[in-house]
Amino acid sequence: MTATTDSGGGPARAGAATGAVPAAGRPAPAQEPGSPADEARRATTRSVGHLLGRQHAEGWWKGDLQTNVTMDAEDLLLRQFLGIRDARTTTAAARYIRDEQRADGAWATFHGGPGELSATVEAYIALRLAGDQPGDPHMARASGWVRRHGGIAGTRVFTRIWLALFGWWPWDELPELPPELIFLPSWFPLNIYDFGCWARQTVVPLTVVSAKRPVRPAPFDLDELHTDPGDPHPRRPLAPATTWDGFFQRADRALRRNRRLVPRSLRRAALGAAARWIVERQENDGCWGGIQPPAVYSLIALHLLGYDLDHPVLRAGLASLDRFAVWREDGSRMVEACQSPVWDTALAAVALADAGLPADHPALVRAADWLLGEEVVRPGDWAVRRPWLAPGGWAFEFHNDTYPDIDDTAEVILALRRVRHPEPARVDAAVARAGRWTLGMQCADGGWAAFDADNTSAFPGRLPFCDFGEVTDPPSADVTAHVVEMLAHEGRAHHPRARRGIDWLLAHQEPCGAWFGRWGTNYLYGTGAVVPALVAAGFPGGHPAVRRAVRWLGSVQNEDGGWGEDQRSYQEEGWAGRGESTASQTAWALLALLAAGERDSPQVTRGIAHLARTQRDDGSWDEPHYTGTGFPWDFSINYHLYRQVFPLTALGRYLSAPGGPGAPGGTGDASDLDDVSDLAAPVILSGDRAPAPARHPAG
């Protein structure tokens, strides 16, 4: 993929209908002071024009998905391992990596964050591949920082696997990942389906890599990154044997000692099964689940199993990696971990509709057409735990039919219901399929997770291998809220599953009044999702849960009228709701307050003024801060379209709610969602229409 970056931070894709963008992203010209509504109308008009100008001719929107330099470093390491690294790619990647280095020599994993050891080691190695020398000032600062923070021995397992591929770390000092794991049935206490889908797609190919233990000749040594070159591979102490961590650590050492005792026939069969599993999950465009990291490890695994670089599977996989690259006007190259067109398109359609764009506007109809074409209609890994459930719904990416997700599905339904499509029956059919699938994916405790149902085993996270990020997919407040909101707009607020979801949300409100945000940062995201959902489901603005949330939002508003929350809130309670104001997080707070009936409150007035004041002259907002979440704390995301769609949604709801909650009502027919009677039973087509939403008991 080739892209440039516009002033709002998003890509102007080939074929996109982009408007003229000023060379410098300046704040909007000062206007004569007016009422908050006047300022909101001006900002809304500019924002609508900006967002319409960014729609692709095919109907979709997509902003850059920026993570951290490990994506770029590992892309170069993969190309080095396969022998396909070229000068142009290397130079462009190195330029981006250098630009991201902190003054102290380290690299962070989010804007303004602290240096992170593994990211710094990987970035340093990538620059060495590009020809930067240890004595160069920026490299000396980096290696000194690494030594002061534990050296290579202190990095995470994933980093040391990359080092082992080139002989910089011994395979014997890495956790064992036996490929025979592929044979464990889904009912076994620890099997591949106990991992979240993102981890599962990575673990299976890494079992092949672990079994093969390849080593390519290293182009240089890394002595300068060890705290003690005389003892570069110190062993980490074991946890007490009476703990689960201690048990799995000792089990891992036993596996490593006895790895040669595995029968060769069993090992061959396991490697063959792993290869089939990987190939079966390759998407039509060559990627794996639309995610870059599983694609990288899958390519290495298949290559080790004898697939040459001209094999159609590898050729398609390598071509897919190029589509994760964003080439910038300054000649640098950033690699996206994933791409978010379905999510971005749904959010953009909601924003434009809520801002007053006519429901039959060509841009909305084109978006709906594209979304309908992206519906997932075949079973995926989710069917392991829901074999009786018919497929439906949407994934996040351009190509991903294996892992649709509940969050995208709920948001797409909300978007489709805002569009007056010329083929309403087509929309109704897609919503009916997606709605049934969503209901059937509810977890046993009443919440909804992102990709799987009841993916909550405690064992995967205990493995010595799993020292980075979330590896399971438990229910979260933000996803559950989006589902509840969707059900309410479909006339199903009193569906038994919706009521169980509401009860789950009430039970998971934090003592301060906020909700934890799993997929966005953090309590502002969770609260901004839950309050509109509760109100859509019939809660009055005076309900105690809603009032607690309103009080909390008021307590964390910044002096400039905006809201912000740093990624550190995932680790430190004191950061909850605290951070520099951002456009997206200000919008999330406003969405909650508007839903709660606070349109004329000082907090909302100041928040709207902040959005109007910080808008740039092209109708966009700037936001270098990372407000998205992959893994809480471990993997942060800057969705470049968030800064455009959420402020517009908040402004639109502010203008459309002169005296009450701003969330518009849905237009869906309740019969589109058929009942699912039991988590362990097939879908039952009830055909009955749910009663109109009523107020939830105020207790």
Render pLDDT for 632-659 as a digit per residue (tens, 0 to 9): 989 999 999 999 999 999 999 999 985 5
Say which residue the tokens 């996270």 belong to.
461
Catalytic position from the list 381, 407, 478, 672 = 407
Specify the pLDDT at position 657: 81
Rounded-to-integer distance, Cα 123 and Cα 139, Å: 10
Strands 333-335 and 65-66 come out as unpaired
State mean pLDDT over 511-531.
97
Residue at 497: amino acid letter: R
pLDDT band at 231 (very low <50, low <70, confident <90, very high): low
Rounded-to-integer distance, Cα 69 and Cα 106, Å: 11
Q: Do domains 40-63+340-454+476-672 and 66-229+238-335 have the same CATH topology?
A: yes
pLDDT band at 18 (very low <50, low <70, confident <90, very high): very low
State mean pLDDT over 363-390.
96
Q: How confident is the model over 19-31, as pLDDT tens digits? A: 332 333 455 544 4
DSSP 337-348: SB--HHHHHHHH
pLDDT band at 364 (very low <50, low <70, confident <90, very high): very high
407 catalytic residue (yes or no): yes
What b/e sequence results for 238-266 when a residue is b if at least 16 CB atoms lie within 10 Å of its CB, and e otherwise?
A: ebeeeeeeeebbeebeeeeeebeeeeeee
Q: Is the pLDDT of residue 699 over 90?
A: no
Specify the pLDDT at position 487: 97
CB 518 within 8 A of CB 476: yes
More confident residue, 302 or 3: 302
CB 270 within 8 A of CB 183: yes
Specify the pLDDT at position 698: 33
Length of the chain: 699
State mean pLDDT over 404-412.
97
State mean pLDDT over 312-316.
96
State mean pLDDT over 26-55.
82
Specify the pLDDT at position 645: 98
Q: Is the pLDDT of residue 1 over 50?
A: no
Q: How confident is the model over 112-161, as pLDDT tens digits? A: 999 999 999 999 999 999 999 999 999 999 999 999 999 999 999 999 99
Sorted by where each begins, the domain ranges of the chain are 40-63+340-454+476-672, 66-229+238-335
Q: Is the pLDDT of residue 617 over 90?
A: yes
Domain 66-229+238-335 classification at class level: mainly alpha
Specify the pLDDT at position 458: 87
Residue at 25: amino acid letter: G
pLDDT band at 685 (very low <50, low <70, confident <90, very high): very low
Nearest CA-CA partner of 482 in 416, 412, 542, 419: 412
Whole-number average pLDDT of the chain? 88
DSSP label at 108? Answer: B
CB 564 within 8 A of CB 581: yes
Q: Which helix (H) or strand (E) covers residue 505, if one does?
A: helix 496-507
Q: How confident is the model over 458-516, as pLDDT tens digits? A: 888 877 777 777 889 999 999 999 999 999 999 999 999 999 999 999 999 999 999 99
Domain 40-63+340-454+476-672 annotated CATH 1.10.1520.10: no
CB 32 within 8 A of CB 632: no
Task: Compute the radius of gyration of the chain from its Cα atoms.
Answer: 25
Percent share of the chain, pLDDT over 90: 77
Specify the pLDDT at position 467: 75
CB 411 within 8 A of CB 396: no
Q: Is the pLDDT of residue 6 over 60?
A: no
CB 202 within 8 A of CB 152: no
Listed range (40-49, 297-306, 463-472) with the worst mean pLDDT: 463-472
Q: Is the pLDDT of residue 662 over 90?
A: no
- Return the number of other C-beta atoms located less than 10 Å from residue 30's C-beta: 7
> In Å, what is the CA distance from 331 to each residue of 89, 387, 623?
10, 48, 22
Report H helices in 323-466.
341-354, 362-373, 406-416, 424-440
pLDDT band at 17 (very low <50, low <70, confident <90, very high): very low
Rounded-to-integer distance, Cα 491 and Cα 177, Å: 48
Question: What is the sign of the dihedral through the CA atoms of 693, 598, 521 and 545?
Answer: negative
